[in-house]
Structure 1
Protein backbone atom coordinates (compact mmCIF):
# COMPACT_ATOMS: atom_id res chain seq x y z
CA UNK A 1 0.00 0.00 0.00
CA UNK A 2 2.80 2.41 0.93
CA UNK A 3 4.56 1.65 -2.37
CA UNK A 4 1.38 2.43 -4.35
CA UNK A 5 0.95 5.75 -2.54
CA UNK A 6 4.55 6.68 -3.37
CA UNK A 7 3.96 5.87 -7.04
CA UNK A 8 0.79 7.98 -7.04
CA UNK A 9 2.61 10.92 -5.45
CA UNK A 10 5.43 10.74 -8.00
CA UNK A 11 2.98 10.54 -10.92
CA UNK A 12 1.10 13.63 -9.69
CA UNK A 13 4.34 15.60 -9.36
CA UNK A 14 5.52 14.58 -12.84
CA UNK A 15 2.15 15.48 -14.34
CA UNK A 16 2.26 18.94 -12.79
CA UNK A 17 5.69 19.56 -14.35
CA UNK A 18 4.39 18.55 -17.78
CA UNK A 19 1.34 20.83 -17.72
CA UNK A 20 1.56 24.50 -18.69
CA UNK A 21 1.02 27.20 -16.13
CA UNK A 22 -2.55 28.52 -15.94
CA UNK A 23 -2.89 32.20 -16.82
CA UNK A 24 -5.93 34.25 -15.94
CA UNK A 25 -7.05 35.69 -19.27
CA UNK A 26 -10.10 37.88 -18.76
CA UNK A 27 -12.63 37.85 -21.62
CA UNK A 28 -15.08 40.19 -19.89
CA UNK A 29 -16.27 42.88 -22.32
CA UNK A 30 -14.09 41.66 -25.18
CA UNK A 31 -15.56 41.03 -28.65
CA UNK A 32 -16.31 37.52 -29.84
CA UNK A 33 -13.27 35.67 -31.22
CA UNK A 34 -10.86 38.16 -29.63
CA UNK A 35 -7.36 36.78 -30.18
CA UNK A 36 -5.21 37.12 -27.06
CA UNK A 37 -2.08 35.48 -28.45
CA UNK A 38 -0.85 32.96 -30.96
CA UNK A 39 2.11 30.72 -31.57
CA UNK A 40 2.64 28.30 -34.42
CA UNK A 41 1.39 25.36 -32.39
CA UNK A 42 -1.48 26.96 -30.47
CA UNK A 43 -3.48 30.13 -29.85
CA UNK A 44 -5.61 31.71 -27.13
CA UNK A 45 -9.03 33.12 -27.98
CA UNK A 46 -12.20 34.45 -26.32
CA UNK A 47 -15.41 32.72 -27.41
CA UNK A 48 -18.75 33.07 -25.69
CA UNK A 49 -17.14 35.16 -22.97
CA UNK A 50 -14.72 32.37 -22.06
CA UNK A 51 -11.03 31.96 -22.78
CA UNK A 52 -9.74 28.83 -24.51
CA UNK A 53 -6.35 27.67 -25.70
CA UNK A 54 -6.54 25.78 -28.99
CA UNK A 55 -3.62 23.48 -29.81
CA UNK A 56 -2.68 22.68 -33.43
CA UNK A 57 -1.81 19.03 -34.00
CA UNK A 58 -1.53 16.40 -36.74
CA UNK A 59 0.78 18.41 -38.98
CA UNK A 60 -1.01 21.76 -38.63
CA UNK A 61 0.06 25.26 -37.60
CA UNK A 62 -1.82 28.43 -36.73
CA UNK A 63 -2.73 30.57 -39.75
CA UNK A 64 -3.60 34.19 -38.96
CA UNK A 65 -5.70 34.54 -42.12
CA UNK A 66 -8.04 31.66 -41.35
CA UNK A 67 -7.91 32.17 -37.60
CA UNK A 68 -7.45 28.45 -37.10
CA UNK A 69 -5.00 25.59 -37.50
CA UNK A 70 -4.04 24.94 -41.13
CA UNK A 71 -2.16 22.00 -42.58
CA UNK A 72 1.53 22.72 -42.99
CA UNK A 73 1.43 21.77 -46.69
CA UNK A 74 -0.70 24.86 -47.34
CA UNK A 75 0.58 28.44 -47.37
CA UNK A 76 0.83 29.33 -43.70
CA UNK A 77 1.43 33.00 -42.97
CA UNK A 78 4.37 34.60 -41.17
CA UNK A 79 5.79 33.83 -38.69
CA UNK A 80 4.80 30.17 -38.89
CA UNK A 81 6.29 29.75 -42.34
CA UNK A 82 9.69 30.93 -41.07
CA UNK A 83 11.47 31.88 -37.85
CA UNK A 84 11.67 35.65 -37.23
CA UNK A 85 15.19 36.92 -37.87
CA UNK A 86 15.39 38.45 -34.38
CA UNK A 87 14.82 35.03 -32.84
CA UNK A 88 17.66 33.54 -34.87
CA UNK A 89 20.01 36.30 -33.72
CA UNK A 90 19.00 36.63 -30.07
CA UNK A 91 20.25 33.73 -27.92
CA UNK A 92 19.41 35.15 -24.49
CA UNK A 93 16.74 34.10 -21.98
CA UNK A 94 13.88 36.18 -23.34
CA UNK A 95 13.26 39.36 -25.33
CA UNK A 96 10.11 40.72 -26.95
CA UNK A 97 9.94 42.52 -30.29
CA UNK A 98 7.11 44.53 -31.90
CA UNK A 99 5.64 43.00 -35.03
CA UNK A 100 5.95 45.78 -37.59
CA UNK A 101 4.18 43.80 -40.32
CA UNK A 102 0.66 44.81 -41.31
CA UNK A 103 -1.97 42.57 -39.76
CA UNK A 104 -3.55 40.50 -42.58
CA UNK A 105 -6.93 40.16 -40.88
CA UNK A 106 -8.00 43.18 -38.83
CA UNK A 107 -5.82 45.88 -40.46
CA UNK A 108 -4.53 46.81 -37.02
CA UNK A 109 -1.72 49.38 -36.68
CA UNK A 110 1.85 48.04 -36.85
CA UNK A 111 3.26 47.02 -33.45
CA UNK A 112 -0.18 46.13 -32.08
CA UNK A 113 1.23 42.62 -31.69
CA UNK A 114 4.60 41.64 -30.27
CA UNK A 115 6.44 38.34 -30.11
CA UNK A 116 8.88 36.65 -27.76
CA UNK A 117 12.26 35.14 -28.61
CA UNK A 118 14.27 33.01 -26.18
CA UNK A 119 17.40 30.95 -26.74
CA UNK A 120 17.07 31.23 -30.52
CA UNK A 121 13.43 30.09 -30.54
CA UNK A 122 10.22 31.85 -31.52
CA UNK A 123 7.71 31.47 -28.67
CA UNK A 124 4.63 33.26 -29.96
CA UNK A 125 2.74 36.52 -30.47
CA UNK A 126 0.72 38.50 -27.96
CA UNK A 127 -1.58 41.48 -28.40
CA UNK A 128 -1.33 44.90 -26.80
CA UNK A 129 -4.43 46.46 -25.20
CA UNK A 130 -6.55 48.61 -27.49
CA UNK A 131 -5.02 52.00 -28.22
CA UNK A 132 -1.46 50.94 -27.39
CA UNK A 133 1.55 49.64 -29.31
CA UNK A 134 4.60 47.70 -28.19
CA UNK A 135 7.70 49.60 -27.11
CA UNK A 136 10.80 47.41 -27.45
CA UNK A 137 13.19 49.44 -25.21
CA UNK A 138 10.76 49.34 -22.27
CA UNK A 139 9.39 45.87 -23.14
CA UNK A 140 5.77 46.85 -22.64
CA UNK A 141 2.70 48.29 -24.38
CA UNK A 142 2.26 52.07 -24.29
CA UNK A 143 0.19 54.75 -26.09
CA UNK A 144 1.73 55.61 -29.49
CA UNK A 145 2.51 59.13 -28.23
CA UNK A 146 4.96 57.57 -25.74
CA UNK A 147 6.66 55.23 -28.22
CA UNK A 148 9.39 56.20 -30.70
CA UNK A 149 8.94 55.62 -34.46
CA UNK A 150 8.26 53.45 -36.35
CA UNK A 151 5.78 52.08 -33.81
CA UNK A 152 4.79 55.44 -32.29
CA UNK A 153 5.16 59.20 -32.67
CA UNK A 154 7.30 60.15 -29.65
CA UNK A 155 10.55 61.94 -30.58
CA UNK A 156 12.02 62.68 -27.13
CA UNK A 157 13.97 60.48 -24.74
CA UNK A 158 12.50 58.78 -21.68
CA UNK A 159 14.21 56.27 -19.40
CA UNK A 160 11.42 53.95 -18.33
CA UNK A 161 11.42 52.03 -15.06
CA UNK A 162 12.91 48.55 -14.96
CA UNK A 163 9.98 46.19 -14.75
CA UNK A 164 9.82 43.29 -12.26
CA UNK A 165 11.22 40.05 -13.65
CA UNK A 166 13.54 41.82 -16.10
CA UNK A 167 17.12 42.97 -16.27
CA UNK A 168 18.68 45.65 -18.47
CA UNK A 169 21.01 44.53 -21.28
CA UNK A 170 22.29 47.06 -23.82
CA UNK A 171 19.56 49.48 -22.75
CA UNK A 172 16.79 46.92 -23.23
CA UNK A 173 14.85 45.14 -20.53
CA UNK A 174 15.33 41.40 -20.93
CA UNK A 175 12.66 39.04 -19.65
CA UNK A 176 13.86 36.50 -17.13
CA UNK A 177 12.08 33.16 -17.61
CA UNK A 178 11.07 31.06 -14.65
CA UNK A 179 13.18 28.03 -13.79
CA UNK A 180 12.45 24.61 -12.34
CA UNK A 181 13.78 23.30 -9.03
CA UNK A 182 17.09 22.43 -10.71
CA UNK A 183 17.64 25.93 -12.10
CA UNK A 184 16.84 24.92 -15.68
CA UNK A 185 14.63 27.14 -17.84
CA UNK A 186 11.05 25.93 -17.61
CA UNK A 187 9.59 26.61 -21.06
CA UNK A 188 6.12 25.64 -19.82
CA UNK A 189 6.09 28.85 -17.78
CA UNK A 190 5.58 31.01 -20.88
CA UNK A 191 1.95 32.05 -21.55
CA UNK A 192 1.90 29.97 -24.71
CA UNK A 193 2.88 26.35 -25.05
CA UNK A 194 2.63 23.74 -27.77
CA UNK A 195 0.82 20.50 -27.06
CA UNK A 196 1.55 18.15 -29.95
CA UNK A 197 -0.43 15.23 -28.55
CA UNK A 198 -3.96 16.32 -29.39
CA UNK A 199 -6.13 19.19 -30.57
CA UNK A 200 -7.28 20.41 -27.21
CA UNK A 201 -9.36 23.27 -25.90
CA UNK A 202 -8.38 24.36 -22.41
CA UNK A 203 -11.14 26.69 -21.20
CA UNK A 204 -10.77 29.27 -18.47
CA UNK A 205 -13.81 31.18 -17.17
CA UNK A 206 -13.77 34.94 -17.58
CA UNK A 207 -13.59 36.70 -14.25
CA UNK A 208 -15.86 39.51 -13.21
CA UNK A 209 -14.54 43.06 -13.30
Structure 2
Protein backbone atom coordinates (compact mmCIF):
# COMPACT_ATOMS: atom_id res chain seq x y z
CA UNK A 1 0.00 0.00 0.00
CA UNK A 2 2.83 2.38 0.84
CA UNK A 3 4.47 1.75 -2.53
CA UNK A 4 1.15 2.55 -4.26
CA UNK A 5 0.93 5.87 -2.37
CA UNK A 6 4.51 6.74 -3.33
CA UNK A 7 3.80 5.89 -6.98
CA UNK A 8 0.71 8.12 -7.01
CA UNK A 9 2.63 10.96 -5.35
CA UNK A 10 5.46 10.71 -7.90
CA UNK A 11 2.95 10.60 -10.78
CA UNK A 12 1.32 13.79 -9.55
CA UNK A 13 4.67 15.52 -9.35
CA UNK A 14 5.45 14.59 -12.95
CA UNK A 15 2.08 15.80 -14.24
CA UNK A 16 2.11 19.05 -12.26
CA UNK A 17 5.71 19.91 -13.19
CA UNK A 18 5.30 20.11 -16.99
CA UNK A 19 6.32 23.77 -17.23
CA UNK A 20 9.62 24.70 -15.61
CA UNK A 21 9.46 28.41 -14.82
CA UNK A 22 13.10 28.70 -13.72
CA UNK A 23 14.64 31.39 -15.91
CA UNK A 24 11.36 32.00 -17.78
CA UNK A 25 9.90 35.47 -18.14
CA UNK A 26 6.69 36.05 -16.22
CA UNK A 27 3.69 35.12 -18.35
CA UNK A 28 1.46 32.30 -19.57
CA UNK A 29 2.84 29.10 -21.08
CA UNK A 30 1.33 25.91 -22.54
CA UNK A 31 -1.83 27.86 -23.30
CA UNK A 32 -4.95 26.05 -24.49
CA UNK A 33 -8.52 27.28 -24.59
CA UNK A 34 -9.26 25.44 -21.34
CA UNK A 35 -6.31 26.64 -19.29
CA UNK A 36 -2.66 27.60 -19.06
CA UNK A 37 0.36 27.64 -16.78
CA UNK A 38 1.29 31.03 -15.37
CA UNK A 39 4.94 31.66 -14.49
CA UNK A 40 5.59 34.38 -11.93
CA UNK A 41 8.96 34.87 -10.25
CA UNK A 42 10.01 31.36 -11.32
CA UNK A 43 6.92 29.67 -9.83
CA UNK A 44 4.44 27.76 -12.03
CA UNK A 45 0.71 27.90 -11.32
CA UNK A 46 -1.72 25.84 -13.39
CA UNK A 47 -4.91 27.75 -14.21
CA UNK A 48 -8.02 25.96 -15.45
CA UNK A 49 -10.92 27.83 -17.03
CA UNK A 50 -14.23 26.95 -15.32
CA UNK A 51 -17.91 27.83 -15.57
CA UNK A 52 -18.00 27.95 -19.37
CA UNK A 53 -15.10 30.38 -19.60
CA UNK A 54 -12.33 30.02 -22.20
CA UNK A 55 -8.90 31.59 -22.65
CA UNK A 56 -8.94 35.13 -24.01
CA UNK A 57 -5.66 35.90 -25.83
CA UNK A 58 -6.24 39.65 -25.46
CA UNK A 59 -6.58 39.70 -21.66
CA UNK A 60 -4.39 36.57 -21.19
CA UNK A 61 -6.88 35.01 -18.77
CA UNK A 62 -10.09 32.98 -18.68
CA UNK A 63 -13.04 35.02 -19.94
CA UNK A 64 -16.44 34.78 -21.62
CA UNK A 65 -16.30 32.41 -24.64
CA UNK A 66 -16.58 35.10 -27.32
CA UNK A 67 -12.94 35.55 -28.36
CA UNK A 68 -11.29 33.73 -31.28
CA UNK A 69 -10.00 31.18 -31.69
CA UNK A 70 -11.52 29.56 -28.60
CA UNK A 71 -15.06 30.35 -29.68
CA UNK A 72 -14.55 28.54 -33.00
CA UNK A 73 -15.33 24.83 -33.37
CA UNK A 74 -13.80 23.11 -36.38
CA UNK A 75 -15.38 20.39 -38.48
CA UNK A 76 -12.63 17.80 -38.79
CA UNK A 77 -14.67 15.22 -40.68
CA UNK A 78 -12.74 14.41 -43.84
CA UNK A 79 -9.72 16.36 -42.59
CA UNK A 80 -6.40 14.51 -42.41
CA UNK A 81 -4.86 13.98 -38.98
CA UNK A 82 -2.66 16.89 -37.97
CA UNK A 83 -2.41 20.40 -36.69
CA UNK A 84 -3.56 23.39 -38.69
CA UNK A 85 -3.00 27.15 -38.28
CA UNK A 86 -5.84 29.38 -37.10
CA UNK A 87 -5.95 32.06 -39.78
CA UNK A 88 -8.27 34.17 -37.56
CA UNK A 89 -5.36 34.78 -35.19
CA UNK A 90 -2.76 35.33 -37.93
CA UNK A 91 -1.39 31.86 -37.19
CA UNK A 92 -0.51 32.61 -33.55
CA UNK A 93 -2.61 29.57 -32.62
CA UNK A 94 -3.45 26.23 -34.19
CA UNK A 95 -6.00 23.45 -33.90
CA UNK A 96 -5.74 19.67 -33.94
CA UNK A 97 -7.78 17.12 -35.90
CA UNK A 98 -7.42 13.39 -35.33
CA UNK A 99 -9.60 10.67 -36.83
CA UNK A 100 -12.22 13.26 -37.76
CA UNK A 101 -12.41 14.68 -34.23
CA UNK A 102 -11.63 18.29 -33.32
CA UNK A 103 -9.26 18.38 -30.33
CA UNK A 104 -9.24 22.12 -29.69
CA UNK A 105 -6.92 25.07 -30.10
CA UNK A 106 -3.44 25.72 -28.74
CA UNK A 107 -1.46 28.95 -28.71
CA UNK A 108 2.08 29.65 -29.80
CA UNK A 109 4.38 31.52 -27.43
CA UNK A 110 4.55 35.30 -28.07
CA UNK A 111 6.35 36.21 -31.29
CA UNK A 112 5.89 32.77 -32.87
CA UNK A 113 3.50 31.53 -35.55
CA UNK A 114 2.36 28.03 -36.41
CA UNK A 115 4.54 26.22 -38.98
CA UNK A 116 2.27 23.62 -40.59
CA UNK A 117 5.15 21.92 -42.42
CA UNK A 118 7.19 21.33 -39.26
CA UNK A 119 4.06 20.95 -37.06
CA UNK A 120 5.34 23.37 -34.41
CA UNK A 121 5.45 27.04 -33.50
CA UNK A 122 8.35 28.84 -35.15
CA UNK A 123 9.74 32.32 -35.84
CA UNK A 124 7.88 34.03 -38.72
CA UNK A 125 11.06 34.37 -40.80
CA UNK A 126 11.34 30.55 -40.78
CA UNK A 127 7.74 29.94 -41.90
CA UNK A 128 6.35 30.20 -45.44
CA UNK A 129 3.35 32.46 -46.16
CA UNK A 130 0.55 32.87 -45.34
CA UNK A 131 1.69 32.38 -41.73
CA UNK A 132 5.27 33.57 -42.03
CA UNK A 133 7.58 35.68 -44.15
CA UNK A 134 10.11 33.08 -45.37
CA UNK A 135 10.84 33.09 -49.10
CA UNK A 136 12.59 29.69 -49.07
Q: Provide closer, same or farther for how the CA distance between residues 9 and 26 of structure 1 changes in structure 2, counting only shifts above 3 A.
A: closer
Structure 1 runs of 4+ with >6 Å offset: none
| 2:31 match | 38
Say which of 49, 52, 59 aligns to 1:66.
59
| 2:126 match | 146
Unaligned runs of 5+ in 1: 103-109, 157-209
Give the CA RMSD over aligned residues: 3.5
Say which of 155, 164, 175 aligns to 2:135.
155
SS of 1:96's equivalent in the other structure is: strand
**1:136: Cα distance to partner?**
0.3
| 1:82 match | 72
Say which of 45, 48, 55 aligns to 2:41.
48
Q: Residues 128 and 134 of structure 1 are in contact (CA less than 8 Å); yes or no, is this contact kept in structure 2?
A: no
**1:133: Cα distance to partner?**
2.7
**For residues 5 and 43 of structure 2, what CA distance do their matches in structure 1 show?**
33
Q: Residues 60 and 69 of structure 1 are in contact (CA less than 8 Å); yes or no, is this contact kept in structure 2?
A: yes
| 1:98 match | 85
**For residues 88 and 22 of structure 2, what CA distance do their matches in structure 1 show?**
26
**For residues 85 and 108 of structure 2, what CA distance do their matches in structure 1 show?**
10
**For residues 91 and 10 of structure 1, what CA distance do their matches in structure 2 show?**
42
**1:44: Cα distance to partner?**
2.0
SS of 1:101's equivalent in the other structure is: helix
Bigger-Rg structure (1/2): 1
**1:55: Cα distance to partner?**
0.8
Give the number of equivalent residue pairs: 133
Q: Provide closer, same or farther for how the CA distance between residues 48 and 21 of structure 1 changes in structure 2, counting only shifts above 3 A.
A: closer
**For residues 121 and 55 of structure 2, what CA distance do their matches in structure 1 show?**
24
Per-residue CA deviation, residues 67-121 of structure 1 (Å, 9 max, x unaligned), is 3223xxx452123323134x455463xx22223324xxxxxxx323334344413
- TM-score for both structures, normalised by structure 1: 0.48
Q: Residues 129 and 141 of structure 1 are in contact (CA less than 8 Å); yes or no, is this contact kept in structure 2?
A: no
Per-residue CA deviation, residues 124-180 of structure 1 (Å, 9 max, x unaligned), is 4132464x4321011133333332111122334xxxxxxxxxxxxxxxxxxxxxxxx
